Chain A
């Protein structure tokens, strides 16, 4: 009878060991399921007045991201192809409680930045995009989203070379709050040409292009 008892007990023990094994298993492949979001904020000229809207978008994105996801907020200034322009970056912890703490800290960092931001004389959007591509490729996330919070008018300092093709295969590039400039009001074709130019650049680099000007449509921002 003892021999008969053994398999049953061993089955119970094996079941528990499996359950505990699963519980103990804290390492695994991250890259296949996480999301990567890189947000570029235009700080040139009068666009700094729009930064409150950028904060809303950042908060929304923070609420949507989960454990294992990466989020970076960087500024677009005279020369944006630099790690120095990164305002805040985070890869959320596996534990939800820790991830929530990180989100709070991230929000605080952004708030501090917005309070102390100084406007930049030039707008190097391409440099920012190149930096975003480099960062997200390094993180090797499943989805890669670059959000450009700008009027999309690029103004480069003399000597900066930005006529570089963008390798955006697997990237979603979303232009947010593309405001109309005074000159756009005089000739709307300028605005349309600007959008077309960036759309072509992104699509030539095999990326997907989207524009969201209505902040009520943010639900389409983060792909699941």
Chain B
């Protein structure tokens, strides 16, 4: 170890020079102790307050952001709830128009059926024809026992025949009448069934109406909660947004996978159209063109969904006149159809190119390989061709439905991003508070470390002060004994003493520190 020349106080002894320098530095540090302590503590205090101020500002911003998130969530929830209630009312309206508009007709049918039933009933209750009255008059004659007089016997026989004939006629008439009444009762069965069916239908409709009313009640309750801006409504909406965000994100990821397959289907044949070695900004123009076609398809899908009022990403489209909107639906669909047809054609071209490539590679490898490849291709080439063309045609239409998860994703991402930002701000505030406290205690530690370097002069000072204290105390006792207490004579050193901290006060201090950190 060597010291620079200018530091070598004793040129002959390095140790002595170092010792002397240490003494000088210690003395200087001891002399500068108070201002150095003040400087260190003030810097740490400045840092502490600066960090605290920053933390407070960030917490304030977080509070405002949370408030804004709450308002956004409630506003979007209110709109969504309004849409749901509106839609439910539309459904009820359609239901009432469709099913309950038939109610007067149904009522008339039921009334007619009841009138017919009543008539039939009346008819069925008609009294059967009474047996002729003279039969009763001749009953005693008929009951006369047969005699041997042939005259009498003949008379009686004719009476009996007449009576039997009359009874037969009466029975036949009764049967005919009963048949007619039964026929009326029989006619009542289909009428009753018809009435029953009508009443069941009515009951079902009323039940459906009641169920829809219950649904509307539930949605109205939600709407009320949102309008009143209750915490429960915010919590429900927030949870719903998170769920929507993840579900929509998942579906979008699947859609991106579909778009990727679509891209691979058309990028290779695109080289036939725009060239395989033309580049733009480091990317193949064929790839860019394929991507643009897919993006245009997605745009068409978005317009189609907007025009059909399935999504509401563009209020301008939703607000269009029905006539214009229908035109837009047709235009979007036609473009989509044309692009899908183009893709199917490109997919077919891709298959041709693949076959050509395979044949070329096989030709370069050798004739045996060519035959093998041709054998495989002949048997199943049409399957891959059809599959590729089908995918090329279907995928653009499938991509149309991206609009639905995209809308959910965009709407829910507002909430999710807001929550994430609020969390980030909170974390920053805690971190800044932590830094503030670190700087505060770092300053205190530096003061202690400073004192550690000058422990020797401090120790000597302590010894001297103790001696002085003892002298001062002896003097004070002597003065009190003499009764002449002089407050001005109290030694300054007594003032310097600081009371030792009790355990309770230390605990209190630690609790405060924890609170500050949190």
Partner of B299, one of A4, A12, A59: A12
Question: Is there contact, CB below 8 Å, between A63 and B276?
Answer: no
Chain B positions within 8 Å of A24 at CB level: 274
From residue B369, how far is it (CB to closest CB) to chain A in Å?
11
> Is A18 located at the chain interface by the 8 A CB criterion?
yes
For window 277-304 of chain B, which residues contact chain A by CB distance below 8 Å?
277-280, 285, 288-289, 292-293, 295-296, 299-300, 303
Contact (Cβ within 8 A) B361 A68: no
- Asked if B275 contacts A95 (CB within 8 A), the reply is yes
- A60 and B289: CB pair below 8 A? no
Q: Tell yes or no: B331 within 8 A of A by CB.
A: yes
Contact of B360 among A22, A63, A94 (CB under 8 A): A63
| CB of B268 closer than 8 Å to a CB of A | yes
Does B7 count as interface, using CB distance less than 8 angstroms?
no
Contact with B along A30-41 (1 / 0, CB 8 A): 101110000000
Nearest neighbor of B270 in chain A, beta-carbon distance: A23
Q: Are B296 and A19 in contact (CB under 8 A)?
A: yes
A201 to chain B, nearest CB (A): 32
Interface centre among A69, A92, A95, by most chain B C-beta atoms within 10 angstroms, is A95
B-side interface mostly: helix
Contacts of B296 in A (CB 8 A): 15-16, 19
B277 engages A1 (CB within 8 Å): no
- Whether A25 contacts B285 by the Cβ 8 Å rule is yes
Instruction: Evaluate whether A25 and B277 lie within 8 angstroms (CB atoms) in the complex, with A1-B320, A9-B331, A19-B296 already known.
Output: no
Q: List residues 254-283 of chain B with CB under 8 A from any CB of chain A.
A: 268, 270-280
- Report chain B residues within 8 Å CB of A23: 270, 273-274, 289
Q: How many residues of B contact A (CB 8 A)?
A: 42
**Taking A22-B292, A94-B275 as contacts, is the C-beta distance between A28 and B285 under 8 angstroms?**
yes
Residue of B nearest to A67 (CB): B276
Whether B275 lies near A26 (C-beta < 8 A) is yes
Residue of B nearest to A95 (CB): B272
Pairwise interchain contact B364-A96, C-beta atoms closer than 8 A? no
B-contacting 9-mer, from A75-83, A100-108, A146-154: A100-108
Residue B32 interfacial (CB < 8 Å): no
Interface residues of A in 118-165 (CB under 8 A from B): none
Do B271 and A94 have beta carbons less than 8 Å apart?
yes
Is A68 touching B276 in the complex (CB atoms < 8 A)? yes
Partner of A8 from the list B292, B328, B352 (CB cut-off 8 Å) is B328
Contact B277 A27 (CB under 8 A): no
CB-CB contacts below 8 Å: B295-340 with A: 295-296, 299-300, 303, 314, 316-317, 319-321, 324, 328, 331-332, 335
Main secondary structure, interface of A, reads helix
Measured between beta carbons, the chain A residues less than 8 angstroms from B356 are 96-97, 100
User: For the complex, is A99 an interface residue (Cβ under 8 Å from B)?
Assistant: yes
- Closest approach, in angstroms, between the C-beta of A214 and any C-beta of chain B? 19
Known contacts A25-B274, A26-B275: A5-B324 contact under CB 8 Å: yes
Chain A 13-67 interface residues, beta-carbon cutoff 8 Å to B? 15-16, 18-19, 22-30, 32-34, 59-60, 62-63, 66-67
Whole-angstrom distance from the CB of B277 to the nearest CB of chain A?
A: 3
Assembly CA distance A68 to B303 (angstroms): 39
Minimum distance in angstroms from B306 CB to a CB of chain A: 9
Chain A residues near B335 (CB, 8 Å)? 12, 16
Whether, in the assembled complex, A2 has its beta carbon less than 8 Å from a beta carbon of chain B, the answer is yes
How many angstroms from the CA of A200 to the CA of B365 in the assembled complex? 35
Near A by CB (< 8 A), chain B positions 165-218 give none
Residue of B nearest to A60 (CB): B364
A96 in contact with B363 (CB, 8 Å): no
Q: Is the CB of B320 within 8 A of A4?
A: yes
Query: Do residues B275 and A67 form an inter-chain contact, with CB atoms below 8 A?
Result: yes
- The docked-state distance in angstroms from the alpha carbon of A109 to that of B149 is 148
Q: In the docked arrangement, what's the CA distance between A97 and B352, Å?
A: 9
B20 within 8 A of A: no
- Are A63 and B271 neighbours in the complex by a CB distance under 8 Å? no
Write 6 A-B pairs (CB below 8 A) sorted by A numbering.
Answer: A8-B317, A12-B335, A26-B275, A30-B277, A66-B277, A100-B357
Q: Known pairs A26-B278, A107-B364; list 19 more (Cβ under 8 Å).
A: A1-B320, A7-B316, A18-B292, A19-B293, A22-B274, A22-B285, A22-B292, A25-B285, A26-B274, A28-B275, A28-B280, A32-B279, A59-B364, A60-B364, A94-B276, A96-B271, A97-B352, A97-B356, A99-B276
| A-B residue pairs, 7 tightest by C-beta | A68-B277, A94-B275, A67-B276, A28-B278, A22-B289, A59-B364, A67-B277
A residues lining the B interface (CB < 8 Å): 1-2, 4-5, 7-9, 11-12, 15-16, 18-19, 22-30, 32-34, 59-60, 62-63, 66-69, 92, 94-97, 99-100, 103-104, 107
